[in-house]
Structure 1
Amino acid sequence: MTTPVQAFFDPATWTVSYVVYDQVGGHAAIIDPVLDYDPKSGRTGTRSAQQLVDFIQAQALTVDWILETHAHADHLSAAAWLKRQVGGHSAIGDRIGTVQATFSKVFNLEAGFASDGSQFDHLFAPDEAFAIGTLAARALAVPGHTPADMAYHIGDAVFVGDTLFMPDVGSARCDFPGGDAAALYRSARALLSLPGETRLFMCHDYPPPERQPAWESTVAEQRRLNIHLNDTVTEAAFIAMRQQRDATLAMPTLILPSVQINIRAGEMPPKDTNGVAYLKIPLDLL
């Protein structure tokens, strides 16, 4: 049976969010939702997230989960806003505390900030089984891009986060705090050991000029064609490529605002004494 998946592409951040569900009128999970953010003005918006709400309401779906594959560095999460609109339990991998502890120091966050993942409703252990209505699902630990990355195997589909990109783009960077190219290689090979027909859904696409954005592949296609992780690439070759490539990459445009929000499960920082919430910009640190 083909698992129903609806994708929503955000051209501002090259992010793909998903609603995966068991049937019309049934149960659903939201994966990697985007909160609009204008870095020039500091204003947030919900245009992108509202598209998910409209689809969920049109299909008469009950939201069980709002799943994050990791604490993203390239877009702000709309998880908290969506939870208030359509319900559902927010969830992420159980190593998120490692990421929170690292970035709480980077941003010198408030004394009451907890680095234990308690901002999320649920923390998935590696290989933990769960359900979305009648759909069987499993959380797969795929560290490498960050220590806390998770992929979600739901029915015949796997939502891979930043572990894999489309075959002509390859793989995600591993130079963020806690990143590890060897771990990413092993995580990717674990995903690519699934049956060849397994559908893989990317969190981002950064397409070359000759094609439009795309986000669905298969295990078989990735094993044949992925420019970084096809079956001919050894772990040593991947690590050398990733280290050389990562050394040339600039920081993502939204890393400073997004991480501060995303380690809080999409909530804003506490408001200051004037009633306004502020983000911090550490100087000369990253």
Structure 2
Amino acid sequence: MPTIHNLFEPVTGTWQFIVADPSTLSAVIIDPVLDYEPATQVITTTAADALLAYVKEKGYKIERILETHVHADHLTSSSYLQHRLSQTQGFKPPIGIGKRITQVQNLFGRRYQIGKEEYEQVFDNLFEDDESFAVGELTATALHLPGHTPDHLGYKIGGMYLSSVNPKIQTTNACVSDNVICGDSLFHADIGTARCDFPGGDAKNLFKSGRRLLDLDEHVKIWPGHDYPPPDREPVPFLTVGEHRRLNRHIKDSISEEQFVKMRTERDASLKEPRLLHQSLQVNVRGGRLPAPTESGQRMLHLPLKLNGLEW
């Protein structure tokens, strides 16, 4: 079974993960955060450097950096980590994400007037649905879990990697995995599920994705992408499938698809947009790379104005 280290980034409520094979010390980093202060536009690497320090302390060799989706609430540090690790490890770990990322990149590339040369081929691996790959001697499988976004993945990790005639794409149904890094599909039971009102989001798809996770064995651990704990509890890095089936306020066993879609649609209509929505999307469709500098040497992000019907 893998060793999973969960590092909580409290400003954005994000869980970052290092998942390692204890027998080989090979590891992957999943959903790392790049620090950004919107009041000053200052980018720092405190969270990312903490990941690097932890990797060094444990003696891990990072084989891949993985994204569950293009996040709309924090900037990714994948590109920064790739650059730093290429210096310390002697090779550049590829950045992986789901194959539908091109839909998301094209949409937001047009919306924010980002040239295709800034976001095409910034991800090294575009995973097929249910594609498996090795983490040391462990098996990881990319699960397509749409609903929050159309490109959304989870990563099922555990068991031994099985050789195949086609090693790029292989299913491992016979291999029991005890962990799923589920991104923004399920949250802690008292929070429920993620919103579905982003472009390409769909409440019916999220219900199906949630039930796909909850159809796994009861002991399987579900590791979410975020937690937003109330004052009376600490952040919780995982719950089991069984706990979600009994306790998840949005998608436990007693809730039907019709009830879920109605609840999710009404709830999403009342939510404010994420605080770092525009900044996050513009950096994340670039795979964590910063915008190209202007003639004056500045790197610029676009922020849309809301006029509330005013024209002059």
Query: TM-score, structure 2 length as denominator?
Result: 0.88
The equivalent of 1:248 in structure 2 is 270
The equivalent of 1:9 in structure 2 is 8
Aligned length: 283
1:14-25 correspondence runs (5 A): 14-23=13-22
1:208-247 correspondence runs (5 A): 208-247=230-269
The offset of 1:111, in angstroms, is 5.4
The equivalent of 1:85 in structure 2 is 84
Secondary structure at 1:200's aligned position in 2? Answer: strand
- Deviations along 1:228-269, whole A, 9 cap, x unmatched? 000111111100000000011000000110110011110011
Following the alignment from structure 1 to structure 2, what is the Cα–Cα distance between the partners of residues 100 and 134?
33
The equivalent of 2:26 in structure 1 is 27
The equivalent of 1:284 in structure 2 is 306
| 1:106–1:282 CA contact under 8 A, matched in 2 | no
> Cα–Cα, structure 1 residues 119 and 221, in superposed 2: closer, same or farther, change >3 Å?
same
Secondary structure at 1:211's aligned position in 2? Answer: coil
How high is the sequence identity, in percent, across the aligned residues?
Answer: 43
Following the alignment from structure 1 to structure 2, what is the Cα–Cα distance between the partners of residues 213 and 30?
19
Following the alignment from structure 2 to structure 1, what is the Cα–Cα distance between the partners of residues 280 and 149?
15
Following the alignment from structure 2 to structure 1, what is the Cα–Cα distance between the partners of residues 24 and 208?
38
| 1:24–1:61 CA contact under 8 A, matched in 2 | no
Asked which structure has the greater CA Rg, the reply is: 2
Following the alignment from structure 1 to structure 2, what is the Cα–Cα distance between the partners of residues 59 and 252?
34
1:39-188 correspondence runs (5 A): 39-86=38-85, 87-110=92-115, 112-114=117-119, 118-155=121-158, 156-188=178-210
Give the superposed CA RMSD: 1.5
Following the alignment from structure 1 to structure 2, what is the Cα–Cα distance between the partners of residues 59 and 206?
28
Letter in 2 for 1:160: C
Secondary structure at 1:72's aligned position in 2? Answer: coil
Query: TM-score, structure 1 length as denominator?
Result: 0.96
What are structure 2's unaligned runs of at least 5 residues? 86-91, 159-177
